[in-house]
Amino acid sequence: MFEILVDAMSVFFTLSNVLAVALGLIIGIVIGAIPGLNVPMIVALLLPITFYMDPITGLSLLLGVYKGGTYGGSISAVLINTPGAPAAACTQLDGYPMALKGQGGKALQASIYGSVIGELIADILLIALATQIARFALKFGPNEKFSLVFFALVTIGVASGQNRLKGIAAGLIGLFIYSIGIEPISAASRFIFGNINFYGGIPFLPMLIGLFGVSEFFVQIEKKAVAGSKETVIPISKNREDNVISMKEFKANIWNILRSSFIGIGIGALPGSGSSISAYVAYGAARNASKDPDSFGQGALEGVIAPETANNATVGGALIPLLTLGIPGDAITAILLGVFLIHGIVPGPELFTKSADLVYPIFISLMVGNVLHLVIAQLGLKLFMKMIQISKAILFPIIIVLCIFGAYSVGTSMFDVYVMLFFGILGYIMKKLDIPTAPLLMGHILGSLFEKSLVQSLILSKGSIVPFFTRPISLFFLLLTVFFIFWSGFSSYLRKKKNARSR
């Protein structure tokens, strides 16, 4: 293992790869910090550019964006009381009160340290466990693969907050969109409507740019013009004590950091969860474990460290099922799955045998990303604070131009541009109606594996579904799915009961 990593280092350490990680982190932090812009959107916009890069360079850039974007949201959460990314909404609870007390610098330092340590622990665990999990997953036949994909699709639908039925419907629509084009087993055409452009299926990238880029453009354009207004940024104190974390404060938070890291990794590894959930769970756990729980919400340092550590640890946690099983956990990892496929890398058990020359350098890029994250976040803080104030009247016209150029460049086809526009409108309607877009994307991207494994299983068993229940791993995933549905329904029932009692 150690020798493989040393070889991977010699492959990774080129100027272009290191610069790609650094650039990805800077872009991610800036995008994460600006409310209204989000990581899936910018990954979608950068994706066409990575086509023309070496796979390691392109993936390093996008993984840098993922890491940077997850942290970047905390800057605006602390300084302008508006989370730049959903995952930072929890950071805001104590980060903003700290900024009001003149300790904004300390809150941001806590956020940087928490994020980097959380990421580091998650990445080490990913590197240590990935090969073992992948080796085990090599035993999976079509039955196991189908049950696993079924589990992933159901959980991401069911885990869509209070809108479970909407989440499931979105996943089903994603499966329907996948089914447009040529069927992979018998090559029969489906839902072509006489248009030859549909034979190749719905193109992934224009769909992605539409769902995450163009839809946000519509959301922003709907709001009234506010070009002259600027966000009020709370200034950082000049007093050194308010801007640094003392060794005593750091030591007092070691358990908090470790606990939050493992919460982040565990939740990240589950399909359908993601960094927002892990941040809140870690925050709750930190509060329960705190000697002074009443200080939470009033500007408690622990209340900033816990969610920030957990949400960045989720990044590494989410990469575990993605790389070892080929199963994405949320919208960003679903996009990354598409990125890997576009670059000819198929995430899953065979990744470590067939694409070992690519996957280990990517592990190195994650580790290098942690070091660069620490440096860039510290040095660039003042610049990132200024970027929060950039006018949306300039930003969003730039974004729409990038969307159009990006969608066109995929296949130099006007059809792709119109597909992007269609999904932009669909994404906007879904946002207005509170229908999650992640299950739709998952349905589309996992549709192929879902159908192929189902048909192969049925061919092997001559049409019988019994092997799904007699093969132990397949049965395990099906039981897990049933458990998850009941657990989700039961916890929702308990929540409703609690709310009714408090009323």
Partner 1 sequence: MVLHNKQTLIEGLFFLLFGLVILLLIPSQIMVTPSIHTTTTPAFIPTVVAVALMIVGFLMVIKSFRAKHKTTKNIDFSLESFLRVGGSILLLVAYIEMFRIIGIVVASAVFVAVFSYIFGLRSWVKMAVTVVVVPVVVWLVFEYVFKIPLPHGFLF
Q: DSSP letters of 164-193?
A: HHHHHHHHHHHHHHHHSEE-TTT--EES-T
Q: Is the separation of the CB atoms in 156 and 453 below 8 Å?
A: no
Q: Which two tokens stand for residue 477?
A: 């995933």
Shortest Cβ 350–partner 1 spacing (Å): 24
Shortest Cβ 47–partner 1 spacing (Å): 12
Nearest to partner 1 of 122, 180 (CB atom): 180
H or E segment and range at residue 483: helix 472-502
Nearby residues of 236 by Cβ (< 8 Å), 6 or more positions away? 104, 105, 108, 243, 385
Nearest to partner 1 of 196, 394 (CB atom): 394
Nearest to partner 1 of 375, 429 (CB atom): 429
Nearest to partner 1 of 220, 298 (CB atom): 220
Nearest to partner 1 of 106, 444 (CB atom): 444
Nearest to partner 1 of 44, 108 (CB atom): 44
Question: How buried is 323 (Cβ within 10 angstroms: 0-12 exposed, 13-18 middle, 19+ buried)?
Answer: buried
Query: Cα(444)–Cα(438) distance, rounded to whole angstroms?
Result: 10
> 288: how many CB neighbours lie within 10 A of its CB?
9
Shortest Cβ 503–partner 1 spacing (Å): 10
Shortest Cβ 53–partner 1 spacing (Å): 9
Shortest Cβ 388–partner 1 spacing (Å): 17
> At how many degrees (to 10) do helices 356-379 and 15-33 cross?
50
Query: Cα(325)–Cα(152) distance, rounded to whole angstroms?
Result: 11
Query: Cα(277)–Cα(264) distance, rounded to whole angstroms?
Result: 9
DSSP state of 237: P
Shortest Cβ 52–partner 1 spacing (Å): 4
Query: Cα(328)–Cα(330) distance, rounded to whole angstroms?
Result: 6
Number of H helices, E strands in the chain: 23, 2
DSSP state of 213: I
Site residues (vs partner 1, CB under 8 A)? 49, 51-52, 165-166, 168-169, 172-173, 175-176, 179, 183, 185-193, 214, 217-218, 220-222, 224-228, 391-394, 396-398, 400-402, 404-405, 408-409, 412, 414, 417-418, 421, 424-425, 428, 432-435, 447, 450-451, 454-455, 458-459, 462-463
Shortest Cβ 90–partner 1 spacing (Å): 21
Nearest to partner 1 of 166, 259 (CB atom): 166
Nearest to partner 1 of 234, 404 (CB atom): 404
Shortest Cβ 110–partner 1 spacing (Å): 33
Nearest to partner 1 of 104, 406 (CB atom): 406
Closest CA to 348 of 196, 182, 136: 136
Shortest Cβ 488–partner 1 spacing (Å): 15
